[in-house]
A = this chain, B = another copy of it.
């Protein structure tokens, strides 16, 4: 029995993204010893997808020269909504998948425990355990992308609902009469401050001739106006784009103030491609706006920082969260 336990000391962290999947193998100190990355190809269906996940993990194990019998557990960050207890992806619209039994498939394939969690939650957990929010009592992550993802780690645990994830920071209402959000309501944070919302406003500016550098680099197609292009156009002198991005950051700061008043976090972590491209702009605008709007007793109670771990936050967080869940069950 002891031999078994000693052998089974590696953890898999897996990130199931809309376009790519990433598997990393970690030792007991959460040092990466192997990895594999591939395209998700969600359109090929959930069955092909599960096979792909399994194959990607096997390749990562090979790259680490580790046998699956040495695995202590697998953690998978997934797009939601999820059934966390059963380990099922209920509905992943970006992939076109429904009712996908990730946990059962991986447990059967690798003979070790598997846990799924919301992709943003494990990203925040990764930053909380190993990155920009290390040592915090309460960490809240805000990740503006196509939408705006959020997560909260409180006293070492991801805050979540009975069977689902929560912390839907993107749907804090910051503008009651604001533009319509993808969720059907008006003025949600992600309707005014996601990368998509910023890109749409910047495309309008480009079309009107107010953002010549952006127009030259990316045209007016939203799909081409990525974070890097926005950052480059600001650097090149497109003032209107800077105004648009700063305004979005201030909206995030408004939502952040509500989160501070509610949860009293020590650390707010900002992450995702948009923040990575312009970390100082986002950190300073969010901090200033939030400080002005929190109750006076919270003014000096929190830091705003940029995420440190990039793509590793999700895989590292997923592996460490699986480890933490197993420890709890012991």
Contacts and interface: CB of A to CB of B under 8 A. Distances in A.
Interface of A: 80-81, 137-138, 150, 154, 159-162, 164-169, 171-176, 183, 185, 254, 257-259, 261-264, 266, 293, 295-298, 301
Contacts of A262: 150, 166-169, 172, 259, 262
Contacts of A162: 137-138, 264, 266, 301
A155 to B, nearest CB: 8
A171 B293 CA distance: 10
A243 B90 CA distance: 41
19 contacts: A80-B297, A137-B161, A137-B162, A138-B161, A138-B162, A150-B262, A154-B159, A162-B266, A164-B264, A165-B264, A166-B261, A167-B262, A172-B258, A172-B262, A173-B254, A173-B257, A173-B258, A174-B176, A175-B176
Contacts of A257: 173
A201 to B, nearest CB: 19
Contacts of A185: 293
Nearest to A136: B162
Nearest to A263: B166
B81 A297 contact: yes
A169 B263 CA distance: 10
B161 A261 contact: no
A164 B261 contact: no
Contacts of A297: 80-81, 164
Contacts of A298: 161, 164, 166
Which residue among A167, A169, A173 has the maximum number of chain B CB atoms within 10 Å of its CB? A173
A257 B184 CA distance: 14
A5 B262 CA distance: 38
Given A174-B176, A176-B175, A258 B258 contact: yes
Contacts of A81: 297
A258 B259 CA distance: 11
A264 to B, nearest CB: 3
Given A154-B159, A159-B154, A161-B138, A261 B175 contact: no
A11 to B, nearest CB: 25
Nearest to A80: B297
A175 B178 CA distance: 12
Nearest to A186: B293
Contacts of A295: 168, 171, 183
A181 B45 CA distance: 52
